């Protein structure tokens, strides 16, 4: 893949915007900037791309609304500011998206949500549902309830975690610099720009410094580490200035702006590896010939109608194997129903699930996004 095509060829993209940018260095939400990014996201949407926005700025906006000029040291005051500022952020985004007839949604995550298997699978399912509905989810850390011990702490990491969560192909980190330099350009005017490197290269960690502004949190080091994390599921990262006009649409056209930190593995193999290496199969679903065809040849989800039998005991969110009646495995994936519920909806059309179980989590037994073919 050439330098020009990373964003151009990506279908699912995470865009992270830093506090300095969103709030114009703590002055309050920069509506013009927000509108400009949203206009571009709407254009990407029209091209068929799925976008999740990870936006910082809650604490900075809250401070601006409260008239605070210095960031309080007390965690409870930062949390109060975040609670106030998050409203301002979401209002600005919602207004801007509505001018394009697009719906936005708010997702506030904590580290614990992603560490817990069931909450992880729920967050993932919700994000996929929103994307399937054509919505632009806007994610931030749930600053108001996290304590220091459990916080992710910076949204570069959160952006990478969300990239991994929904296996996005690319992470764009919009910041206040044109990209990564071989030293902090605020401190060294001779710093040299890095156009391209490999995500996870340890040399990058040595040259990336902390935040240069009073509203930013992580600086470049967290961006470089985020790229390394994003690459675990095969995603490429571009660190680029959010001040650059038409930055997102230009990247989508293939223009080589910003610093590209390329993943050395392919999305697909990394995802397969993740499922194969990190999770043990908890059970099996025996599926019929129609279901085998649908999932292996047509890229479809596994529906209850194609499931014949269940082997083993598993919970919602566990990894199960999809096998034929002879026991040959075709795929494995994260199942939306516990084994007891799965047994009750075998061979049933999706329209009957709610009647049989009393409620419906998902129409699919295993969504195609959670299914890996073998
Ligand atoms: N090697 C580097 N290249 C570019 N910027 C760097 C580097 N090291 C440190 N920085 C600093 O990182 C800052 C961006 O991070 P940060 O302030 O956290 O912004 P954001 O709010 O966008 O996350 C830059 O303004 C710059 O001062
Ligand atoms: N969750 C915090 C942002 C933390 C953060 O990482 O900020 P930044 O380094 O500007 O991306 C907030 O909304 O204020």
Which overall architecture, per CATH, does domain 279-373 show?
Answer: Roll (2.30)
- H-helix or E-strand containing 273? helix 267-278
Q: Was 184 annotated as part of a binding site?
A: no
Verify whether ligand 1 is closer than 6 Å to residue 18 (CB atom): yes
Verify whether ligand 2 is closer than 6 Å to residue 59 (CB atom): yes
Q: Which residue is closest in CA terms to ligand 1's atom 9?
A: 209
Q: Which CATH number fits domain 12-267: 3.40.1160.10, 3.40.50.300, 3.30.70.2740, 3.40.309.10?
A: 3.40.1160.10
Cα dihedral sign for 354, 357, 359, 360? negative
CA of 15 to the centre of ligand 2 (A): 14
CA of 182 to the centre of ligand 1 (A): 12
Q: Was 220 annotated as part of a binding site?
A: yes
Name the closest ligand to CA 204. Answer: 1
pLDDT at residue number 266: 59
CA of 166 to the centre of ligand 1 (A): 26
User: CB–CB of 171/199 below 8 Å?
Assistant: no
Q: Which atom of ligand 1 is nearest to the CA of 210?
A: 9
pLDDT at residue number 265: 65
Q: Which atom of ligand 2 is nearest to the CA of 157?
A: 6
Q: How far is CA 10 from the centre of its chain?
A: 13
d(C-alpha 319, C-alpha 263), whole Å: 26
Cα dihedral sign for 158, 162, 168, 174? negative
Joined together, the tokens standing for residue 245 give 């006009």
Joined together, the tokens standing for residue 237 give 């990262």
| pLDDT classification of 273: cutoffs 50, 70, 90 | low
pLDDT value at 269 more than 60: no
CA angle (159 as vertex; 269, 52 as ends), nearest 5: 90
CA of 99 to the centre of ligand 2 (A): 26
Residue extents of the structural domains in the chain: 12-267, 279-373
Class of residue 288 by CB neighbours under 10 A (exposed 0-12, middle 13-18, buried 19+): middle
Q: Which atom of ligand 2 is nearest to the CA of 60?
A: 14
At 146-196, the pLDDT tens digits run 776 667 778 999 999 999 999 899 999 999 999 999 999 999 999 999 999
Verify whether ligand 2 is closer than 6 Å to residue 157 (CB atom): no
Q: Was 176 annotated as part of a binding site?
A: yes
| Ligand 1 pocket, mutate which of 19, 186, 238, 247 (most atoms under 8 A from CB) | 186
d(C-alpha 71, C-alpha 48), whole Å: 40
| pLDDT classification of 92: cutoffs 50, 70, 90 | very high
Tell me what percent of the residues of the chain surpass a pLDDT of 90: 74
pLDDT at residue number 96: 98
pLDDT at residue number 232: 84
Q: Which atom of ligand 2 is nearest to the CA of 55?
A: 13
| pLDDT classification of 271: cutoffs 50, 70, 90 | low
Could you identify the residue written with the tokens 């817990």? 116
Verify whether ligand 1 is closer than 6 Å to residue 234 (CB atom): no
pLDDT at residue number 330: 93
How far CA 88 is from CA of 31, 95, 98, 128, in Å, comes to 10, 11, 15, 26
How far CA 247 is from CA of 39, 214, 218, 374, in Å, comes to 11, 24, 22, 38
Q: Which residue is closest in CA terms to ligand 1's atom 4?
A: 180
Verify whether ligand 1 is closer than 6 Å to residue 212 (CB atom): yes
Which residue, among 354, 368, 187, 220, has the nearest Cα to 294 in the 3D structure? 368
pTM greater than 0.90 (yes/no): no
pLDDT value at 1 more than 60: no
Verify whether ligand 2 is closer than 6 Å to residue 88 (CB atom): no
Q: What is the end-to-end Cα distance of the chain in Å, rounded? A: 24
User: CB–CB of 150/116 below 8 Å?
Assistant: no
At 201-225, the pLDDT tens digits run 999 999 998 876 667 677 899 999 9
Class of residue 138 by CB neighbours under 10 A (exposed 0-12, middle 13-18, buried 19+): buried
pLDDT at residue number 118: 78
């Amino acid at each position: 893949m050439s330098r020009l095509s990373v964003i151009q060829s990506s279908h699912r993209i995470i865009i992270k915007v830093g506090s300095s940018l969103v709030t114009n260095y703590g002055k309050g939400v920069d509506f013009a900037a927000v509108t400009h990014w949203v206009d571009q996201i709407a254009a990407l949407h029209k091209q068929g791309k799925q976008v999740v926005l990870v936006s910082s700025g809650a604490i900075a906006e809250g401070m601006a609304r409260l008239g605070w000029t210095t960031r309080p040291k007390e965690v409870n005051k930062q949390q109060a500011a975040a609670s106030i500022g998050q409203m301002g952020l979401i209002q600005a985004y919602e207004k801007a998206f509505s001018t394009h007839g697009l719906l936005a949604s708010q997702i506030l995550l904590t580290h614990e949500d992603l560490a817990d298997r069931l909450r992880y699978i729920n967050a993932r399912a919700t994000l996929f549902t929103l994307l399937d509905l054509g919505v632009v989810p806007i994610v931030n850390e749930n600053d108001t309830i996290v304590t220091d011990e459990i916080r992710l702490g910076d949204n570069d990491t959160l952006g990478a975690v969300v990239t991994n969560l929904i296996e996005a192909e690319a992470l764009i980190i919009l910041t206040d610099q044109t990209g990564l330099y071989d030293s902090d350009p605020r401190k060294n005017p001779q710093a040299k720009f890095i156009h391209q490197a490999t995500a996870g290269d340890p040399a990058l960690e040595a040259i990336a410094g902390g935040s240069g502004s009073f509203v930013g949190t992580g600086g470049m080091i967290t961006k470089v580490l985020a790229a390394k994390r994003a690459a675990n599921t095969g995603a490429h990262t571009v660190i680029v200035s959010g001040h650059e006009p038409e930055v997102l649409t230009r990247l989508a056209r293939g223009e080589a702006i910003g610093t590209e930190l390329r993943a050395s593995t392919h999305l697909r193999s990394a995802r397969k590896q993740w499922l194969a290496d990190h999770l043990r199969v908890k059970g099996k679903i025996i599926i019929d010939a129609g279901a085998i065809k649908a999932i292996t040849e047509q890229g479809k989800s596994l529906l209850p109608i194609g499931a014949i039998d269940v082997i083993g005991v598993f919970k919602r969110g566990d990894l199960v194997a999809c096998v034929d009646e002879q026991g040959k495995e075709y795929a494995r994936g994260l199942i939306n129903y516990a084994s007891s519920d799965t047994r009750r909806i075998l061979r049933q059309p999706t329209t009957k699930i709610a009647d049989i179980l009393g409620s419906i989590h998902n129409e699919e037994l295993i969504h195609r996004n959670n299914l890996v073919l073998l």
